[in-house]
Amino acid sequence: MINDLLLIKKVKEGDIKAFEILFRKYYPPLSYYSVTITGSSDAAEDIIQDLFYVLWRERERIQILSSLKSYLYNAVRNRSLQYCDKRKLDQRYRISSLNPSSQDTEQDSLNGIEYRELEEIIKKSLERMPSRRVEIFRMHRFGNQKYREIAEALSVSVKTVEAEMTKALKEIRKEIELHTSIL
């Protein structure tokens, strides 16, 4: 069996056979990992296929600083979280556009502004948090995953997931309280 360093070297040189070996080796575990984040096998399939397409297309420019496995898993995690964020945004848009009783009253406008402000506060708060905490928060809140599922996907304990969620929510609450006290 060819090791990953040799495999990626051959892929960078345009060796299609090496790429096929890489694909066959990593497609199943990456698909499973993506499903644990997205909750959708169809989405996972699209994410993984797109990742491998980009990997082949950009093969000469790709810089893998750690292990190939880490690189692929990080890429899948990022793409899967982006999918979850987009899906959540799409759901919000569909719900708001299907609401026939929504009128342009002063109260509706105020609620819309408050909601957008709240989203912005949460977004800024997440930007200041450690990446692992943000990842756990997004997997739970946007990916609708249970703590146990997150723990398995990230190879950490359920207690770690609980602790990170508690810290994330505490930081967000503090930011919201700070913002509302200013107003």
Tokens of 105: 């009253």
Q: State the chain's mean pLDDT as an integer.
A: 81
Biggest CA–CA distance in the chain, Å, is 67
**In the predicted model, is pLDDT for residue 102 greater than 50?**
no
What is the number of alpha carbons within 13 Å of residue 154 lying toward its C-beta?
27
CA 46, CA 62: separation in Å to the nearest integer? 21
Share of the chain above pLDDT 90, in %: 28
pLDDT band of residue 93 (cuts 50, 70, 90) is low
Instruction: Give the pLDDT score at 94.
Output: 54
Question: Is the full-model pTM beyond 0.85?
Answer: no
Token digits of residue 178:
């700070």
Interior CA angle at 17 toward 12 and 20, to 5°? 90
- Domain 1-102: state its class: mainly alpha
Give the orientation angle of helix 16-38 with respect to helix 4-12, to 10 degrees. 110
Domain ranges in the chain are 1-102, 103-183
- Mean per-residue pLDDT, 157-182: 84
Portion of the chain with pLDDT greater than 70, in percent: 82
Which phi and psi angles does 119 have, rounded to 5°?
A: -60, -40
Question: Which pLDDT tens digit goes with each residue over 83-92?
Answer: 888 877 666 6
Fold of 103-183: Arc Repressor Mutant, subunit A (1.10.10)
Between 162 and 145, whose confidence is greater? 162
Nearest to 73 by CA among 36, 33, 18, 37: 33
Over residues 51-85, the pLDDT tens digits come to 999 999 989 888 887 788 888 998 999 899 888 88
What's the pLDDT score for residue 105?
47
